[in-house]
Chains A and B, each alone.
Chain A
Amino acid sequence: MTTQAGGCPFHGNAAIIQTTAAPVRGSGGEEPATVSPDAADYPVADWVDVAALATDPYPTYARLRAESPVAWVPQLNKFLVTTYAGCHTVEQDQELFSANVSGATMTRAIGAQPMLRKDDPEHSVDRAPVNPVLRPKSIKEVWGPVFERNAEAYLQKVAELGPEEADLNRDYAAPVASQNLIDLLGLKDVSVEQVRRWSHDFIAGMGNVLDDQSIWDRCDAATAEADRLLEELIPYYRQNPDASMVSAFANSGLPTANVAANVKLTISGGMNEPQHVVTNMVWALSNHGDQREQVLADPALWASVFDEAVRWQSPIGMYPRETTRETVLGGVRIPAGAGVGVVVASANRDAGHFGASAAEFDINRTKRPHLAFGSGVHLCAGHWAAKTSIGQIAVPMAYERFPGLRVDKRRSESWDGWVFRGLTSLPVTWN
């Protein structure tokens, strides 16, 4: 172990943190190229059961990795890529595997094309303005105290509910993630509930591959509300710049439409995933008592707990790309214009990369790069923010406040999803 350089606000430096924002659930309305399963010269995994994926995707991922790590899945109209090496190759080559996918529901949902659906150089024009807000120094110095205040406020509410009633998702993870996002963006006069609703409605729209009109209606209403707020905020921040993301966007010289699209992207992706990491960390430690004791005795290990939790139960499971020309990936020919699903949740359990214990939660494992935050130019812009706000603040503070914090086995928890996956409720108790 080498020594840590002096100036970094982070100690331990275990985390490679999270993705800008939400890759789409499912992706494209009208599908890309016609990929005919007849006479296919690529593996076809027509056995994949999408409902089973949402219940527990890991058995499906394990079988895909073993049998056909690059496979056409007709039900999803995509090639799923499930190994670490395959996913990493796709992420490193934006020329061949474009983020600008056909018929993107993400673009439809938020009414304009956000940076996550662009390749460079267009992508970097949108992204560069917020990078300084999200680098470690600004996150720690400017935003750390804000994240602490927010955690404190909702810990108080959890305490009032007590160890018989509290739900860590509903009462802590969700409102803390929402308030942190409101502050970091610099949204004004909006409630935690409102931003949470926008986030859900945008995400539902991004996953609306079946074109359900009621989902579009909710999504359009959220877009209209957010756009109305931004119409006021953008000129406000041009006059009164501060350290927030909307201020950085507003003063970047980007057209208003780009700013609005990227703020809505951030609202979609900046809430759900940090929320899930809070509950995932507590769930994982509850089910691994020895490791919980270890981190409580040595708080420097929180960075490893955070990092291992996002690897082991990645909140973003899959995101789409599209081939710009015919290519061969992992020995499999993929036609031009084909939809590709980069299944990072599966890559993060690949024994070929993490060794035989890949499926286990182990904060002491040898550090290897993982893909929970993506990699390459779309690496989550908020990764330092997540590492700090959740890994070093929200979760450690919860353990300090509630000795013996653990999952309450008397009440039931629930998990859902595979494209985005997390606990939808997590009853907790303490001593």
Chain B
Amino acid sequence: MPSVTYTQPNGTQQTLQVESGTTLMRAAVNNGVDGIIGECGGQAMCATCHVYVRPEYAQALPDISDDEDEMLDCATAERTDSSRLACQIQLNAELSEIVVDIPVGQL
């Protein structure tokens, strides 16, 4: 099963094994990972699922859509080149492993 590792701002890490097709937001919310709210359920309407993707995984990611781009501008924590919405990234055969950093605030 694909795996995702969430890194909290204080450095603690949590790794989850998830079914192929699961988004990083859904995995976090269903497993009570702190710091990912996912308020809109994955519609790119809230930006409360902002994460920073570690650079070594960047090229395996889908492109940022216009909707995601617009919402990332509204994330509470600073947007950087590694910013993504966790609801727009699915774990699957192409992306079987990823490590992300959770920002300090989503609200």
Contacts and interface: CB of A to CB of B under 8 A. Distances in A.
A1 B105 contact: yes
Contact of A127 (B43, B46, B77): B43
A373 B73 CA distance: 21
A8 interface: yes
A4 B76 contact: yes
A375 B45 contact: no
Q: How many A residues are at the interface, by size bracket?
A: 35 or more
A367 interface: yes
Interface in A1-57: 1-10, 13-14, 16
Contacts of B107: 13-14, 16, 367-369
Nearest to B103: A2
Given A131-B67, A135-B71, A2 B105 contact: yes
Chain A's interface: helix, strand, loop or mixed, by majority? loop
A96 B43 CA distance: 20
Given A135-B71, A367-B105, A369-B107, A16 B76 contact: no
Contacts of A131: 43-45, 67
B41 A6 contact: no
Contacts of B72: 5
Contacts, number: 87
B8 to A, nearest CB: 15
B11 to A, nearest CB: 17
Interface stretch (A234-242, A340-348, A376-384): A376-384
A132 interface: yes
A299 to B, nearest CB: 19
B10 to A, nearest CB: 15
A132 B67 contact: yes
Interface string B50-70: 000000000000000001001
A10 B37 CA distance: 19
Nearest to B107: A367
Given A135-B67, A135-B71, A3 B43 contact: no
Interface string B93-107: 000000000011111
Nearest to A15: B107
A137 interface: yes
A89 to B, nearest CB: 10
Interface in A103-137: 124, 127-128, 131-132, 134-137
B48 interface: yes
A369 B37 contact: yes
Given A2-B78, A5-B72, A16-B46, 19 more contacts: A2-B103, A2-B105, A4-B78, A7-B73, A9-B74, A10-B74, A13-B74, A13-B76, A16-B107, A131-B43, A135-B71, A136-B70, A136-B73, A367-B105, A367-B107, A378-B41, A379-B41, A379-B43, A381-B45
Chain A to chain B: the 6 pairs with minimum beta-carbon distance, closest first: A7-B73, A377-B41, A5-B79, A8-B74, A376-B41, A367-B107
